[in-house]
Amino acid sequence: MSLSMRRVLGSRALRPPLVRTLVSMPKLIPEAVPTGSTQIFRTVEEVKRWRRPQYTCHRVIGLVPTMGALHEGHLSLISAAVKECDHVVVSMYVNPAQFGPHEDLDSYPANWDSDLEILAALEKKLAKKISAVFAPTTKEMYPFGFPGQEVDSKGSFVIITPLSERLEGKSRPTFFRGVATVCMKLLNIVQPDKVFFGQKDIQQSLVIQRMVDDLMVPTKVIVCPTVREPDGLARSSRNVYLGTRRRKVAKVLHDALASAKQQYLNGRADRSSILGSANGLLESTQATQVSLPAEERVRFEVDYVSFADRFTMDEVEEVDPSRGAIVSAAIKMLPVELATPGEDVGYNGGPAVRLIDNMILEPSG
C-alpha cells in the first residue's frame, strides 16, 4: 500500500464555571462533548483509569494527537481511527516545547468550544462514538516544570537524530525534540495500539516512526493522506493567519510541488529536473509579486525545497525506483506590507506564517 494513500510507517455548554468545579473536586467527573458521548479527561490518572478495562476486553485503542484548532485534516485522521479502532482518543494540547522562543505560541489559534462542537458533529456523522478527548494542562504534561524552549534547555527530552536535524529541524532546532517528547508522553499515557498522523507533516511522522522503532514502543504509526483546499493548499490550523491576499498566493507552495511531481510522472527522475521545476515556479511568483505596488503584493521567503529519500530524508540525486522519494518545501509568508482600509489581513493581525507541504514520488520498480 502506497504512502500517499496511507502507509503504516511500521460547545458552548462547557463554560469556565464547570471547569472550575471539576478542578476543585477530589474525584473528577468526566465532562462530555455536547450532544455526544465523548468523555473529556484533564489528567493522566483519568486516562489511565479509563484505559485499564480496555486491556481485559482486548479493545483496539487509537490515538489522534492534535493541538486543537480542528479542521478537515484532523477530522480525516479521526475518521480513519474510528474505522480501524474500537476506541479513539483525541488529544488536544498546545505543546510549548515544539515552539521556538520567538514563534507563534501565544497567538496559536484555539477555540475550545468550537472544537468540541466539531467533534460532536463528526461523531453524529460517523454514527460511532469518539471515546475520549484528553486535554491536559502544561503542568499535567510537565509535572516537574516545563524545561523551556531554548536549544540549551535542560530537562527530559526525546531526541531522534540525525533525522530531526534536517529540513524542518534545521530551521526549527527544538521542534522535533518537542514533538518527540510530547508524543512519547502521550503514547505512554494512552498506550494506543495505533496512532494517526497526516502526510502533510511527513518528516514529523518519520521522526515518530523512528522513535517508536528505536525505543520499541508497541504502537503502530499510521500516516493518512494530506487533506487539501480546493486549490491544493494543505489544510493547516495556521492558514487562518493568512487573510485574503496572502491566501491567494500561498497556493504557490502546492503548485511548485505539483510541478516537480509532474516532472517525475513525465519520466524525469533526476534532481535537476524535479527541483528546477519547483524552484522555477517559486522564483517567478516572487518576481511577479515584487513588481506589484505595496498595497497589492505578497512577500514570501523560501526556506527550503527538498528532494529526498522517503524513509531517511537524505537528499538524493535521483529517484530510487525501488524506494521512491519525497519532494517537500517550506515557505514563510511575510506580513502584509501595506494593508488597504478594511482588508482582511488574517487572524491575530496576520503575522508571518510558515507553511510546509510535500508530495510522494512513488516507486516505479
* 309 DSSP assignment: -
Strand partners, 194: 62, 220
Strand partners, 355: 331
**Residue 71 annotated to the active site:** no
d(CA 359, CA 254): 9
Count CA within 13 A, CB hemisphere, residue 326: 24
Catalytic residue among 58, 74, 87, 254: 74
* Cis ω before 162 (30° cut-off from 0): yes
d(CA 209, CA 190): 17
Neighbours of 79 (CB within 10 A): 20
DSSP H/E element including 308 = strand 300-308
d(CA 281, CA 289): 12
d(CA 193, CA 229): 31
Give the catalytic positions in this structure. 74
